[in-house]
Amino acid sequence: METFDLSRYRNIVFFTGAGMSAESGVPTYRGKGGIWGSYSIEEYACQQAFDRNPEKVLGFHEKRRRSVLDCEPHEGHRVIARMPDARVVTQNIDGMHQRAGSQEVIELHGSLWRLRCDNCGHNKEDLGRSYEARRCACGSWLRPDIIWFGDMLDPLVMSRAAEAIGNCDLFISIGTSGTVWPAAGFPDLARKSGACCIEINPEPSGATRYDRVVEGAAGEVLPKLFGSC
């Protein structure tokens, strides 16, 4: 596979989904070994579950944090991180891009590594295997700052993502099935903005809107395409 010539591009966006973390071993949501096979969304991943039993929901998210901390970013994450001007828009909440060194990551679905208080608005980073505190200084429970089922996406985060994608001239989609909206509309936005669009996926989405589709795993393809950039 030939190295991709990046010299013509000024604004590069990597758009990533669950497949980006697959080779790191981060458990998937659905499918074989997916966490929703053993844990129900209604009990662990919606606001109502948190309101009913915050300790149970926090305990589950601590478990997820530990399983992610037992995984490491792979060479594909590092190749992206070595391109300091490239922006990352991700659907993942696992923080793998940041652990690999990416500075500018727009997290559409929030992060496992932030907690927020919906009572006083406090929002804090918390990176350990266990939460430093489960309650805010104001006394309310701290809630994982991620988009749960039934939550609205943060309009500010969405507009930052749309701005980055609307202004990019190279858009590289990696490891996303393109089925979860509204993120699924981003490849079309990039195309309409005139960007060159590339998809990297061992099972490509089948959409015809890409200029180039590379059938393969992120950890193998990214170093080959962009490794020497």
Q: Which residues contact ligand NAD (rule: CB under 6 A)?
A: 17-19, 21-23, 26, 28-29, 91-94, 109, 174-177, 179-180, 200-203, 217-218
Burial of 180 (0-12, 13-18, 19+ CB in 10 A): middle
Relative to beta strand 196-200, strand 212-214 is: parallel
Residue 225's binding partner among Zn ion, ligand NAD, none (Cβ under 5 to 8 angstroms by kind) is none
Nearer to ligand NAD, 92 or 102 (CB): 92
> How far is Cα 183 from Cα 158, in angstroms, rounded to an integer?
9
* 104 vs 126 by CB, closer to Zn ion: 126
Q: Count other C-beta atoms under 10 Å from residue 183's C-beta.
A: 20
Give the nearer residue to Zn ion in terms of CB position, either 127 or 133.
133
Shortest separation between residue 148's beta carbon and ligand NAD, angstroms: 11
For the CB of residue 140, give the shortest distance to ligand NAD in the complex, in Å: 26
Active-site option among 61, 77, 109, 122: 109
Minimum distance from CB of 54 to Zn ion (Å)? 13
Nearer to ligand NAD, 24 or 195 (CB): 24
Q: What DSSP letter does each residue of 87-130 carry, written as one string? A: EEEES--S-HHHHHT-S-EEETTEEEEEEE-TTT--EEE--SSS
198 touches, from Zn ion, ligand NAD, none (C-beta below 5 to 8 Å by class): none
Edge-first strand order for the sheet with 196-200 is 105-107, 87-90, 12-16, 170-174, 196-200, 212-214
Q: Is 109 a catalytic residue?
A: yes
> Catalytic residues, which ones?
109
